[in-house]
């Protein structure tokens, strides 16, 4: 049995964890726990996730999988949440994330000097915590495996499954879910998106990114002082 712990928080991006969850759930002998501090319901993009495990009462897990989302900044500012991440990472065989979940791992001191993936708009913020931003869709550095933005969680999960159970098991999960992406537009990366689209998305993210930069700078400074 492989035990997976997925910590949730308000403002998490649902696809960051539901995509990997669905692929991992396709395997036999997988115990996947969705958890939150005090078992509180989590609100994400208008969806409510309940019946969660108590994050602080989970003793251990083979895989720690931290999803991202705009709520990750508030999460990494929460001492209890960050302490639970650090504790669970100590005994985990794999410490992993999707999207801006890597910022949480980095804030917990788990990516110091390691390469890590993140959503393209927030990737450079990893450096504030001593991590090394990497633009690859899936990045492995030791037992740290991180996926890029949102949909990269599917590729991340397949890479993780191949690591756990072999390539055929990963291919079987991929076939079962008919994961054969063929997007109608080649606009999924800054390098390929048309300029007007890139400009519009940057404008949409500008306030959130500025707020994230300010708050992460404060958290990073506090952590340095505490250390």
Residues carrying an active site annotation: 99
Contact 72, 118 (CB under 8 A): no
**190 contact partners, CB below 8 Å, separation of at least 6:** 120, 198
Rounded Cα gap, residues 35 and 6, in angstroms: 6
Q: Taking the CA atoms of the chain, what radius of gyration do you get in angstroms? A: 17
Rounded Cα gap, residues 108 and 212, in angstroms: 16
Contact 111, 130 (CB under 8 A): yes
The secondary structure of residue 26, as a DSSP letter, is: T
Q: What are phi and psi of 42, to 5 degrees?
A: -115, 130
- The single residue listed with the structure tokens 């504790």 is 87
| Secondary structure element (H or E) that encloses residue 155, with its range | helix 152-165
Q: Which of 88, 48, 97, 37 has the alpha carbon at shortest distance from 69? A: 97
Which pair of structure tokens corresponds to residue 49?
Answer: 């996730």
């Amino acid at each position: 049995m492989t035990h997976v712990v997925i910590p949730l928080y308000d403002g998490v991006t649902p696809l960051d964890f539901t995509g990997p969850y669905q692929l991992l759930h396709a395997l036999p002998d997988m115990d996947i726990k969705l958890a939150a501090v005090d078992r509180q319901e989590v609100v994400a993009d208008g969806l409510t996730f309940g019946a969660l495990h108590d994050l602080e009462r989970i003793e251990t897990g083979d895989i720690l999988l931290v999803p991202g989302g705009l709520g990750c900044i508030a999460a990494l500012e929460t001492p209890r949440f960050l302490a639970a991440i650090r504790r669970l990472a100590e005994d985990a065989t794999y410490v992993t994330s999707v999207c801006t979940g890597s910022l949480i791992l980095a804030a917990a001191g788990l990516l110091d000097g390691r390469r890590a993936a993140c959503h393209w708009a927030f990737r450079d913020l990893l450096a504030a915590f001593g991590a090394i931003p990497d633009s690859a869709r899936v990045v492995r550095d030791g037992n740290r495996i991180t996926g890029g933005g949102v949909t990269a969680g599917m590729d991340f999960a397949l890479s993780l499954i191949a690591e756990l159970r072999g390539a055929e098991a990963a291919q079987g999960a991929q076939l079962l879910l008919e994961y054969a992406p063929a997007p109608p537009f080649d606009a999924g990366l800054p390098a390929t998106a048309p300029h007007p689209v890139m400009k519009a998305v940057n404008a949409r993210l500008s306030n959130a990114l500025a707020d994230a930069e300010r708050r992460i700078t404060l958290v990073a400074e506090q952590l340095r002082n505490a250390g």
